Amino acid sequence: MAADERKNTNSNEPPKKQPRPQNRNNRNNLNGFRNNNDDSPTGKVMKTAMIWLFIFGFVVVMYMLVNSGQQSEVSVTYTEYKQFLDAGKIESATITKSQLNDFVFHGVLREKVSILNPKGTGQIEIQRFFTRLGVLDTDAEKVWAEKGITWRYEEGDSQWVGWLVSFLPWMVLIGVYFFIMRRMQGGGPGGTRGIFSFGRARARLISENAKKVTFEDVAGADEAKYELQEIIEFLRDPDKFQRLGGKIPHGVLMLGPPGTGKTLLARAVAGEADVPFFSISGADFVEMFVGVGASRVRDLFEQAKRSAPCIIFIDEIDAVGRHRGAGLGGGHDEREQTLNQLLVEMDGFEQNSGIIVIAATNRPDVLDPALLRPGRFDRQVVVDRPDVKGREGILRVHGRNIPLASDVDFEIIARGTPGLSGADLANLMNEAALFAARRNSDAVTMDDIESAKDKILMGVERKSMVISEKEKEVTAYHEMGHALAGKLLPHSDPVHKVTIIPRGRALGVTSYVPNEDAHTYSKDYLETRLITLLAGRAAEIIVFNQLTTGAGNDIERATMLARKMVCEWGMSEKIGPLNFASKEEEVFLAREMSHPRQHSDETARLIDEEIRRIVTNSMQKAEQLLRENIDMLHKSSKILLEREVLDAEELDKIMRGEELPPRLKNGQNGHVSSASATDAPNNPPPDAPAKPEITPPVA
């Protein structure tokens, strides 16, 4: 879903946003909530740097202490030691035993003497020195005594060294322990990645400074915008509603197919509301440990209370809100615990005034009934696929940042794309921009958009696929059978294009564009649809007197459509207005595993006969229609074989017997909305009363 134009003056337009008086208390609460969060990544880096700086300083200090007593000593050679000894210059000495089992002589001279600098050139004055003596004997002590030297023996290593060697491993282990514990307690960004913080909610608080999406950026969902706009008004001015006895709704559930803009609407609510907006996915509650999800629900609502009034958005709530009691076995289900806690928080056992929960899902059928009742989700907003005006508005929004050529008409594009969601239309405009970029064009043209439509709805053109002339001829007659049936039958959708260029899994495609979006379908339309589906097979039989596999997808869809007519829509005179459709409900919904047939064998036989009769009669009507127009079939098929692509205007000229102008080399326009394709992907037939999907390719 995309954005709407600002000049829209529809009576159902949401009320304009009124300036909200600043609530100082709410702002203070919000600031307090932010201050309670873990530090920012910059602050964490600074803290880590300070810790490592402290450790480095500690090591340096310890090294200085260890070497404090030896900084004034100078290492001398054994020869210099003998000279000092013979000259009687040594006053006292300390003998230590090193780890190499030899003795080190630490001497103190009676006065300073000059010697060569062992580290360079020049002379230095020393009074303390040391040298290695190797193994001592009694003769050495006698010489020391004769020279008047006083000496003593000490332990080989310093006490500081011994202490450091003993305790350094323990210090390292303690440091590693504290580091790991800090990470486990939430050392990551946001403070929610620690093993001891798995009970904390992982909701993201939408920043007020972030780029905002507003309701002006949303199109194709006016009713949903109105409902959500009223919710925002509740939060801005609750007295306006409470003076009449109204209560702020607890929750809003947005339902709709994928790609219709549910999450975009929630982002628009965050952009419109001047209140804190917490965003979280339903899967973030579920963990392997029982009770973690419930703990996160409690923590989420505690955070919301500190920032009330506020909005909580839970995306894909079906991940946590599925029907309880699911499965065949018993057990302590973590998801059920989480759902129970969510029900309690939303039920008002605790006063959560000013907290509104907005949830989104495309699977409302699997949600627990207790979650859907009023008092929890008071409002259910359906976000359906957009109509033609909505699609036009969506295309305009996604085309705002794309340079467009003068021939681009969004109205025509919107009319030719029934059933597409907002996400599909966004992809359409993006693909069109890519097509234009490949041509090195400065603007996106209508041809680019049509090519993008072809790619999305029919598949990528397979230029490298080698097809024999015979197979190509069969495909041409097959597709022209579809096209002629669509042109000749009164209740058919207008034919938009027919092509025999392979796309996706289809060897050829016949496309149809409805004149308007339909919500219900008549029996005449469905019977016409059956004839056009089977006209391709009929053309093969009439011209080539053979059957091919190219009609497999057509037969599948025709059979499915006939079955729906008989079993669901009551369009069989013999069966009557009865429903015999089998509802294939899943086991996880805690419903019965087996689905016993609700009708007799005789009724099943009648159903099969009616389906066969409807499909067979449609096949006979298709053959009769093409035999009556066999000359037109041959003529148009040969033209299609030559040109490979025919649009609606060219088909009209062929039907009128006019000659076609030569086609430009790059002049391929056109696209599909309802198509029929040989061996095309399986697209379901239209289901009344739902909005129509893209009419599937006919083969």
| Residues involved in catalysis | 479
DSSP 274: S
438 exposure class (CB count in 10 Å sphere: 0-12, 13-18, 19+): exposed
Distance, CA of 647 to CA of 499 (rounded, Å): 9
User: Does residue 550 contact residue 502 with C-beta atoms inside 8 Å?
Assistant: no
The string of DSSP codes covering 433-457 is HHHHHHTT-SSB-HHHHHHHHHHHH
Tokens (6 digits) for 150? 């006083």
Distance, CA of 481 to CA of 474 (rounded, Å): 11
Distance, CA of 42 to CA of 45 (rounded, Å): 5
Q: Given the DSSP bridges, would you call strands 74-75 and 645-647 parallel, antiparallel or unpaired?
A: unpaired
Q: ∠ CA 658-661-664 to the nearest 5 degrees?
A: 155
Distance, CA of 161 to CA of 398 (rounded, Å): 72
Chain-centroid distance, C-alpha 371: 25
DSSP 349: S
Distance, CA of 671 to CA of 668 (rounded, Å): 9
Distance, CA of 479 to CA of 553 (rounded, Å): 13
Residue 365 CB partners (closer than 8 Å, separation 6+): none
**CA dihedral angle for residue 435, residue 441, residue 444, residue 450, rounded to 10 degrees:** -40
User: Does residue 484 contact residue 535 with C-beta atoms inside 8 Å?
Assistant: yes
Say whether 333 sits in a helix, a strand or coil: coil
User: Does residue 514 contact residue 418 with C-beta atoms inside 8 Å?
Assistant: yes
User: Does residue 471 contact residue 646 with C-beta atoms inside 8 Å?
Assistant: no
How many helices (H) and strands (E) the chain has is answered by 21, 15
Distance, CA of 231 to CA of 548 (rounded, Å): 58
Q: Which of 266, 257, 259 is nearest to 224 (CA)?
A: 266
Peptide bond into 689 cis (omega under 30): yes
Q: Which of 310, 322, 332 is nearest to 283 (CA)?
A: 322
- Tell me the residue type at 648: A
Distance, CA of 389 to CA of 613 (rounded, Å): 40
Q: Residue 623, Cβ neighbours under 10 Å: how many?
A: 19
- Tell me the residue type at 511: S
Q: ∠ CA 223-225-226 to the nearest 5 degrees?
A: 65
User: Does residue 671 contact residue 454 with C-beta atoms inside 8 Å?
Assistant: yes
Tokens (6 digits) for 171? 């210090």
Distance, CA of 143 to CA of 672 (rounded, Å): 113
Length of the chain: 699
Tokens (6 digits) for 697? 């390719």
> Residue ranges of the alpha helices (H) in 201-314?
222-236, 239-242, 262-272, 292-306
Q: Where are the beta strands (DSSP E) in 16-119?
A: 74-75, 90-97, 103-116
